[in-house]
Structure 1
Amino acid sequence: PSVFAGNSLKDSDNRQKLLKDKDKPMLNRALRETYPPGSTFKVVTAAAALENGLYDDIDAKTDSPLPWTLPQSTTQLKNEGNIPCENATLREALRVSCNTVFGKVSDDLGNEKMIEQTEKFGFNKEVFTPVRADASIYPEDNKPQNAMAGIGQASNRTTPLQMAMVASAIANDGKLMQPYMVAERQAPNLDPVYTHEPEELSRALSGENAQKVQQMMETVVKDGTGTNARIPGVTVGGKTGTAQHGLNNSEKPYAWFISYAKTDSGSPVAVAVVVEDGNANRDDISGGGLAAPIARDVMKAVIDSKK
Structure 2
Amino acid sequence: MTRYIRRAAALSLFLLAALFVNAVRVQVLQADGLNGSPANRRPAIARYDEPRGDILVGGRPVTGSKDTGEQLRYERTYLDGPLYAPVTGYSSQTYGTTLLEHAADGVLSGTDPMLAPLPFWNEFTRSDRPGGKVLTTIRPSMQQAAYRGLDGRRGAVAAIEPYSGRILALVSSPSYDPGLLSGNSAEVTAAWRRLNGADTHPMLNRAIRQTYPPGSAFKIVTAAAALEARVVRDADAPTDTPDPFVIPGTRTTLPNPVPGCRKASLVYAIKWSCNTVMANLGAKVGLKAMLETAGRFGFNDDALRIPSGVAVSNFDRHMSVDQLALSSIGQFDTTATPLQMAMVAAAVANGGELAHPYLVDRTTTWDGDTVRETPRRSYGRAMFPATALELRRMMIEAAEKGTGTRALIDGVTVGGKTGTAQHGVGNAGTPYAWFIAWAQHRDAPRPAVAVAVVVEDPEAAGGEISGGGDAAPIAREVMVEALKAARP
Shift of 1:34: 1.3
Instruction: State the structure with more CA Rg.
Output: 2
Bigger Cα displacement from structure 2, 252-261 vs 145-154: 252-261
3-state SS in 1 of match to 2:331: coil
* Fraction of identical pairs, as percent: 45
Shift of 1:184: 1.7
Deviation at 1:278, TM superposition (A): 5.6
Match of 2:281 in 1: 105
Q: What residue ranges of structure 1 are gaps of 5+ in the alignment?
A: none
| Number of the residue aligned with 1:31 | 208
Partner residue, 1:229: 407
Where does 1:51-90 land on structure 2 (aligned, <5 Å)? 51-81=228-258, 83-90=259-266
Find the residue that maps to 1:176 and give its secondary structure.
Answer: strand
Quote the Cα distance in structure 2 between the aligned partners of 1:304 and 1:189: 31
Q: Which residue of the partner structure matches residue 165 of structure 1? A: 343
Matching of residue 289 in structure 1 with residue 465 in structure 2: no
Q: Which residue of 2 aligns with 1:301?
A: 481
Say whether 1:91 aligns with 2:228.
no
Counterpart of 1:301 in 2: which secondary structure? helix
Aligned residue type for 1:22? D
| Residue aligned with 1:46, SS | helix
Stretches of structure 2 that go unaligned for 5 or more consecutive residues are: 1-77, 79-177
What are the superposed Cα offsets for residues 119-159 of structure 1, whole Å, 9 maximum, x if unpaired? 11111122111111121111120001100100000111111
Give deviations 1:219-239, integer Å, cap 9, x for gaps: 111010011111111111111
Q: 1:3 aligns with which of 179, 187, 193?
A: 179
- Give, in whole Å, the separation in 2 of the partners of 1:192 and 1:299: 30
Structure 1 distance, partners of 2:412, 2:183, is 44
What is the TM-score normalised by the length of structure 1?
0.95
Cα pair 2:435 2:454 within 8 Å, conserved: yes
Paired residue type of 1:206: F
Over 3 Å counting, the alpha-carbon distance change for 1:30 and 1:12 in structure 2 is same
What is the alpha-carbon distance in structure 2 between the residues aligned to residue 282 and residue 50 of structure 1?
A: 31
Letter in 2 for 1:98: C
The Cα RMSD (Å) is: 1.6
- The secondary structure found in structure 2 opposite 1:132 is coil
Q: Paired residues, what number?
A: 306
2:331–2:423 CA contact under 8 A, matched in 1: no
Query: After the TM superposition, which of the residue ranges 120-129 and 141-150 deviates more from structure 2?
Result: 120-129
Distance 2:460 2:221 in 1: 29
SS of 1:120 mapped into structure 2: helix
Q: Distance in 2 between matches of 1:32 and 1:17?
A: 20
Relative to structure 1, the CA distance from residue 65 to residue 160 in structure 2 (aligned partners, 3 Å threshold; closer, same or farther) is same
Alignment match of 1:271 (pick from 420, 438, 451): 451
For residue 3 of structure 1, give the secondary structure of its aligned residue in structure 2.
helix
From 230, 233, 253, the counterpart of 2:431: 253
Distance 1:30 1:106 in 2: 27
On the 8 A contact 1:245/1:254 being kept in 2, the answer is: no
Give the 3-state SS of the residue equivalent to 1:183 in structure 2.
Answer: strand
Output the TM-score relative to the length of structure 2.
0.60
Is the CA contact 1:3–1:14 (under 8 Å) kept in the aligned structure 2? Answer: no
